[in-house]
Structure 1
Amino acid sequence: MSSKPSEFPIVLVKNLPYNTSTDVLFNLFVKYGNIHQLRVPESKSDAPPGTCIVVYSNISNALQACKRINGINFEGRYLVSSMYQVDPSKFIKEDFVSRVNDLKKLKSEYEIE
């Protein structure tokens, strides 16, 4: 079953120092709530250097983090944070594909044509 976009809200953070460790970033972001995932791009093709994505467990934590992190001076750089907007149509398509696959599996399991 696929997740709804609001189940794991994403905060996009930019202008981070390039050499900051994931441990330091985690300690900065966990102050605002449970983190489901912290993503730091490994190459320039994934995302620009100094960017990370923080996936929170709920929307209120993500909104609080986004609001409080935006504009703070972190290791000499002013951070820019925003809520990442997920295209809902992609979730609808994924959900549809998932349901079709589940239906096929059930039909096969119960020998229904």
Structure 2
Amino acid sequence: MAMAAMQKRTNVRLPPEVNRVLYIRNLPYKITAEEMYDIFGKYGAIRQIRVGNTPETRGTAFVVYEDIFDAKNACDHLSGFNVCNRYLVVLYYQANKAFKRVDVDKKMEELEKVKNKFGLDDDK
């Protein structure tokens, strides 16, 4: 029986952004990994949960599922889920987008350094 169910699932075409790794925003700052497992573990086996613990990453987490279908199910059901009066934002992790923002910030920083070095102002 289980094999027949697995065979059926392999024919399902998932959108390209669907990923086993979910990125969660708008979490309560005091949420624990155990609480995260309680919420996200209902949707399938979890490989790893990383809760942000720096000032920049507080309120965010990564949840890595063993199975992409479990991740999709969790994303579909937990987006907008209320935890301690905060509504979760659940997204599929996209490495290229995550690092693009860092690149833009770095380029802007380098541009400012060059402007300062040559005494250039935006006003002129």
Counterpart check, 1:74 vs 2:83: yes
Report how many residues are paired: 79
Q: Over aligned residue pairs, what C-alpha RMSD do you find?
A: 1.7
The answer as to 2:46 corresponding to 1:35 is yes
Q: Deviations over 1:41-100 (max 9, x none)?
A: 22135xx2100000000100000011111011111100000111244xxxxxxxxxxxxx
Bigger radius of gyration: 2
- Structure number with the bigger relative contact order (C-alpha 8 A, sep ≥ 6) is 1
Over 6 Å off, 4+ runs? none
Q: Which of residues 11, 20, 30 in structure 1 aligns to 2:31? A: 20
Q: Percent identity?
A: 37
Instruction: Describe the SS at the equivalent of 1:11.
Output: strand
Structure 2: 5+ residue stretches without partners: 1-18, 97-124
One-letter identity of the residue aligned with 1:69:
L
Equivalent position of 1:108 in the other structure: none
TM-score normalized by structure 2? 0.59
Give, as a single letter, the amino acid of the residue that structure 2 aligns with 1:22.
A
Task: Give the TM-score of the pair, scaled to structure 1.
Answer: 0.64
Unaligned runs of 5+ in 1: 1-7, 88-113
